[in-house]
Amino acid sequence: MSPAVRRALGLAALVALGGLCAWAVAGLPDFGHPRGPYATAAVRASLRHQVNATVGGVTFDVRGIDTLGEELILFCAAIGATLLLRAQRAEGQAQAAVERHEEAREQAPGSLRGLGAALVGPVLVLGAYVLAHGHLTPGGGFQGGIILAAALVLVYAAGQIVALERVRPVDLVEVSEAAGAAAYVLMAVGGLVFAGATMANFLPYGQAGMLLSGGTVPVLNVAVGVEVAGAITLIVTEFLDQALLRRA
Amino acid sequence: MSVAPYLVAVWLLVIGLYGVITSRHLVHLVMCLSVMQASTYVLLLAIGYRTGGMAPIFADIPPGTPVVDPVVQALTLTDVVVEATASAVLLALAVQAHKRFGTADPDRLGELRG
């Protein structure tokens, strides 16, 4: 099919699809006036378990079993992307890539390397803070994990691949990804054992606003954060390795 | 107009799909898919918005204050995570395809096989 014919057919189909969707959304409740009981019910359920940040409460308490599935999607996708990228790495190429990176480091401006190195510490602290306060303020395991992974990308930007090999031995990244996923599954089973239902919130709720409150929610946040940081670091480093391998 | 945010979601879906149909590069195609997914974020958040509602964080507002719907925000979080992971796998596939066929143009991937 020629591009012109495909474009014409596509445009006709998209106009029809857009029209149908516009017709459908015209029947939705007025913007700003949601109906349905779940918003208030979810807020009540979160506050009953002493979780201030109700989005985190919904994610890890009310919909905890869905988040388990989501976490396993992340786990599988990280492994899938890694397998796809590693299949292309030939023996001996890796050493050449490290040497190329060493050359690139010589060329990187000192200001970039200095700024990257200076930001690593504060970004790590920020990531740990967002991770640990997911049940109190906006944030949580997914967001904190991404920030932690960003710190490792900064190490790369600073041109410290030698340091990077020390900071992120691939084994450690893979272990943290698997350990995060396993911890989440264990918490799900813990609910079954101690409270009679999978993903039940079986730890003491504590007092809302304290760091240790919300029962299993902060624990699950940390498990997810460790897994996300591991998975994203794994994916990013595999892509960066590709960039180095293919630069020749 | 009270349905305008929903129409933004429809627009993002349609324009993203147009990009997918006419794409000439695999990385561009994955980015267009991200635009399509953005329409679901807009739709979910728009459905849960309450006029005058606060953010659903009860750290400094008393319980009972009208807030926007936290359920759709949690769904959006799931959506973002799935989108990011799907993009990672698709980009890895794009690297693989480029390596094998020497091109990233989806139209030319098949014809170079022979």
pLDDT band at A234 (very low <50, low <70, confident <90, very high): confident
d(CA A171, CA A194): 33
Q: Are A98 and B109 in contact (CB under 8 A)?
A: no
The owner of tokens 């759709």 is B72
ipTM of the complex as predicted: 0.84
| Partner residue facing A32 (CB), from B17, B49, B74 | B49
Alpha-carbon gap, residue B21 to B24, rounded angstroms: 9
- The CATH number of residue B84's host domain is 1.10.287.3510
Nearest CA in chain B to A246: B99
Q: CA B60, CA A243: separation in Å to the nearest integer?
A: 47
**Residues with Cβ < 8 Å from A188, sequence gap 6 or more?**
A64, A65, A68, A198, A199
Residues of A in contact with B51 (CB under 8 A): 32-33
Q: How many domains does chain B have?
A: 1
Report if residue B51 sits inside a domain: yes
Residue A225 pLDDT greater than 80, yes or no: yes
B78 within domain boundaries: yes
**B90: closest CA among B38, B42, B12, B20?**
B20
Residues of chain B with pLDDT under 50: 114
**Cβ-contact A81, B92 below 8 angstroms:** yes
Reported as a pLDDT band with limits 50, 70 and 90, residue A107 is low
Overall pTM surpassing 0.90 (yes/no): no
Query: How high is the pLDDT of residue B11?
Result: 95
Host domain of residue B101: 4-108
- Residue B114 resides in a domain: no
- Whether residue B84 is contained in a domain is answered as yes
B67: β partners: B54
Whether A204 has a pLDDT exceeding 50, the answer reads yes
In angstroms, the CA A43 to CA A98 distance is 52
Q: What is the arithmetic mean of pLDDT over A129-149?
A: 89
Residue A159 has pLDDT above 80, yes or no: no
Q: What is the mean pLDDT of chain A?
A: 83
| Test mutation, A30, A38, A52, A55, chain B, max B CBs within 10 A | A55
Residue A243 has pLDDT above 80, yes or no: no
Does the distance separating the beta carbons of A10 and B3 come in below 8 Å? no
What residue spans define the domains of chain A?
36-245
Mean pLDDT of A222-245: 86
